[in-house]
Amino acid sequence: MNLFDVYPLYDLEPVRARDVYVWDKNETRYLDCYGGHAVISIGHCHPHYLLRVQEQLQRIGFYSNSVQIPLQQELADKLGKLSGYDDYQLFLCNSGAEANENALKLASFHNGRKVVVAFTHSFHGRTSATVMATDNPKIRAPLNDRPEVLFLPLNDETALLRAFERDDICAVIVEGIQGLGGIHVPAPAFLQKIAALCASSGAIFILDEVQSGYGRSGKFFAHEYAGVRPDLITIAKGMGNGFPVAGVLIHPKFKASHGLLGTTFGGSHLACAAALAVVEVIGRENLLANSARLGSYLIEELRRITKGVREVRGLGLMIGLELEFASANLRKQMLFEHKIFTGSSHDANTIRLLPPLTLQREHADYFLECFAKTVAQ
């Protein structure tokens, strides 16, 4: 059997990793400034993470959600305290796309509507409405029958107000910082306007923090910079530091019922152990402050590089470098000449930087030196 050819692959095979470094099969060391799509939050193979997962695996790795799994409540307690959302409810699942699917369903179940507002350059996942092929009307929300999505320009309040002239908006979904779209940051005033319009109209405000959450922006959630409290918050990527785990933070106004949502693997013993290790390390090692400090330093220094760089965007350790030319060759040079991983975006000119939150000044300086040298060529 052959693998389905989905991704263009570099001729490189990582075999081990530690903190911000990855080694290939030839024992060549690389600085990881991408974290495997922002997944590595507390550094590769963090000792506490390894211990938590290994000890749990030796006890029990999985049983279904038909039994008591106290680790789930422990995770909810610690996540609520660290994030400032301890009055919300937690639904655990497996991926960011699944989290967003469930958030949209919850919104539609709540108000019975089906029109969703999203934004240009957004990315919320790759799944389709599989529920439509499932013979169980109870789990189909109105939007699963005939969804309608309005795409608006990000930060365009006029377009947003015009969309809300209609009275059937189910939800507004927006990323805390647009990731794959090229690191575009919603203006605080724009998020505040969304929150106000949703509150007055009965629409649900969904904040997709799948990539921008878990300290990536320098705060636990990127939307904290705007001072808003969404109805639903989706999380994934950095949540498990490489273990597949995701979730939805749910406002208390949403009432649960058996069968409304469900998952086989979500909230398993191993998933919770991995996620608990992450929140524990973020708290103990003050990684939010480190992300804010190192991110501010990187952004400031990158903005000093004028040749070849059109714009530097982002917050914390979620940074976009828009070049004056397509970025693919430069990324290859950074990888194979300087041994530094960086990321791409749907904007062919933009490079994404999403390093582990454990990045230190010497790592940042090495990246800056190599990037400046490469972009000047």
* Residues 225 and 297 grouped into a single domain: no
Which of 231, 259, 284 lies at the terminal end of a domain, its last residue?
284
User: What local confidence, expressed as pLDDT, does residue 128 receive?
Assistant: 62
The mean per-residue pLDDT over the stretch 251-280 comes to 96
Which of 269, 284, 299 lies at the terminal end of a domain, its last residue?
284
User: What local confidence, expressed as pLDDT, does residue 138 receive?
Assistant: 72
* Residues 130 and 256 grouped into a single domain: yes
* Residues 340 and 217 grouped into a single domain: no
- Judge whether 80 lies within some domain: yes
- Judge whether 261 lies within some domain: yes
Distance CA 334, CA 340 (A): 5
* Residues 145 and 239 grouped into a single domain: yes
- Judge whether 230 lies within some domain: yes
User: What local confidence, expressed as pLDDT, does residue 133 receive?
Assistant: 53
Helix axes 70-83, 269-284, angle to 10 degrees: 30
* Residues 76 and 136 grouped into a single domain: yes
Note down the domain range covering 294.
286-375
Contact between 186 and 260 (Cβ < 8 Å): no
Please tell me the total number of residues recorded for the chain in this structure.
377
Res. 131: pLDDT tops 90: no
- Judge whether 20 lies within some domain: no
* Residues 214 and 248 grouped into a single domain: yes
- Judge whether 3 lies within some domain: no
User: pLDDT digit string (tens) for 45-81?
Assistant: 999 999 999 999 999 999 999 999 999 999 999 999 9
* Residues 280 and 294 grouped into a single domain: no
Residue 318, beta-bridge partner list: 315
Distance CA 84, CA 169 (A): 28
CATH value at residue 187:
3.40.640.10
- Judge whether 43 lies within some domain: no
Which of 230, 260, 284 lies at the terminal end of a domain, its last residue?
284
CATH value at residue 330:
3.90.1150.10
Contact between 345 and 377 (Cβ < 8 Å): no
* Residues 246 and 305 grouped into a single domain: no
* Residues 280 and 298 grouped into a single domain: no
Higher pLDDT pick, 113 / 126: 113
Nearest to 115 by CA among 145, 144, 150, 140: 150
Res. 129: pLDDT tops 70: no
The mean per-residue pLDDT over the stretch 148-177 comes to 96
User: pLDDT digit string (tens) for 9-55?
Assistant: 999 999 999 999 999 999 999 999 999 999 999 999 999 999 999 99
The mean per-residue pLDDT over the stretch 233-242 comes to 98
Structure-block tokens of residue 327: 């970025």
Nearest to 238 by CA among 81, 46, 110: 46
- DSSP letter for 316, please: T
CA dihedral 93, 94, 97, 99 (to 10 degrees): 20
* Residues 78 and 111 grouped into a single domain: yes
Res. 130: pLDDT tops 70: no
* Residues 220 and 93 grouped into a single domain: yes
- Judge whether 36 lies within some domain: no
Q: What is the pTM of this model?
A: 0.95
* Residues 269 and 307 grouped into a single domain: no
- Please give the mean pLDDT across all residues of the chain: 95
Q: Which residue is associated with the tokens 């990000």? A: 154
Distance CA 263, CA 257 (A): 14
The per-residue DSSP string of 219-245 comes to SSSGGGGGT---SEEEE-GGGTTTS--
Number of domains in the chain: 2
Res. 178: pLDDT tops 90: yes
- Judge whether 346 lies within some domain: yes
